[in-house]
Amino acid sequence: MALFEPHPSPEREEFIGSDVTTRALSVTVVENDFVARVYENLAWVYDFTFGPALHWGRMQAIQRMAIQPGNHVLEVGVGTGINADLYPRDCAVTGIDLSESMLEKARERVFRKNVRNVRLLEMDAADLKFDDDSFDIVYAPYVISVVPDPVAVAREMRRVCRPGGRIVILNHFRSASPLGARLERLIAPFTLYLGFKSDLDLPAFLVQADLKPVSIEKVNLPRIWSLVTCRKE
């Protein structure tokens, strides 16, 4: 598959509907303090629970980025630094996270694996402390569905990405199946305690964040996770 192959799924028709711009992204509402508490609690078990199960999606995301020597990459929601040694060593990576416990684990990992091209910063993803057009690639792995304001985070990602750069989002989004979507809405308040919303609406999210996908792929097993690649125009 080419990096920017158009998404062939019937889901694409949802992007055209007039209700997409205004419909609710999720039935759940969270605050930063809640997110921080969840991930403080998950920090010590994250690698064992979400590490192996979601690893293939991480590998595919790195491939799709087509990182070139000297590229500057921003990872939004770096967590325990599980991606740190997946990046080529000839690029510069900045990883940010809101959870100090997660960052502590990430620092330990970077030191243990002698990864020298990754710097780690504590930062709110909805209020990035970087200049416009600072990065060649901005990547959010498994984080968009847990932040209080996914659209604000995506807009910040777009702002700090240089023109022509890539914005890559790896996440679970609401099923296109009516039955699956109904179930995901029902369980959404409970999945927050596992670290994510189960019912985030992809078409509404992309339209409201002013992101235009050039490819959308299903990844991991089961294939309920989406790898969304956008290019900043």
User: Would you say residue 2 lies in a domain?
Assistant: no
- d(CA 206, CA 125) in angstroms, rounded, equals 17
What is the separation of C-alpha 68 from the centre of its chain, rounded to a whole number of angstroms? Answer: 21
pLDDT of residue 193: 67
3-class secondary structure, 49? helix
- d(CA 233, CA 231) in angstroms, rounded, equals 6
pLDDT of residue 10: 35
Best CA proximity match to 35, nearest among 137, 140, 143: 143
Best CA proximity match to 153, nearest among 73, 161, 103: 161
User: Would you say residue 3 lies in a domain?
Assistant: no
User: Would you say residue 26 lies in a domain?
Assistant: yes
User: Would you say residue 168 lies in a domain?
Assistant: yes
Residues 6+ apart with CB under 8 A from 16: none
Domain residue limits at 158: 10-231
User: Would you say residue 4 lies in a domain?
Assistant: no
pLDDT of residue 74: 99
pLDDT of residue 44: 73
- Written as one letter, the residue type at 30 is V
3-class secondary structure, 127? coil
pTM across the whole model: 0.84
pLDDT of residue 184: 84
The DSSP letter of residue 27 is S
How many domains in the chain?
1
Is 81 within 8 Å of 109 (Cβ atoms)?
yes
- d(CA 203, CA 23) in angstroms, rounded, equals 10
Is 162 within 8 Å of 133 (Cβ atoms)?
yes
- Written as one letter, the residue type at 73 is V
Count other C-beta atoms under 10 Å from residue 66's C-beta: 11
User: Would you say residue 227 lies in a domain?
Assistant: yes
Where does residue 231 fall: left (phi above 0), alpha (psi -120 to 50 degrees), or beta otherwise?
beta
pLDDT of residue 228: 98
User: Would you say residue 177 lies in a domain?
Assistant: yes
pLDDT of residue 3: 36
CATH code for position 154: 3.40.50.150
pLDDT of residue 35: 67
Where does residue 133 fall: left (phi above 0), alpha (psi -120 to 50 degrees), or beta otherwise?
left
Residue stretches of the chain with pLDDT short of 70 = 1-18, 31, 34-35, 39, 43, 192-195
Q: Count, in order, helices (H) and strands (E) of the chain.
A: 7, 7
- d(CA 45, CA 156) in angstroms, rounded, equals 29
User: Would you say residue 1 lies in a domain?
Assistant: no
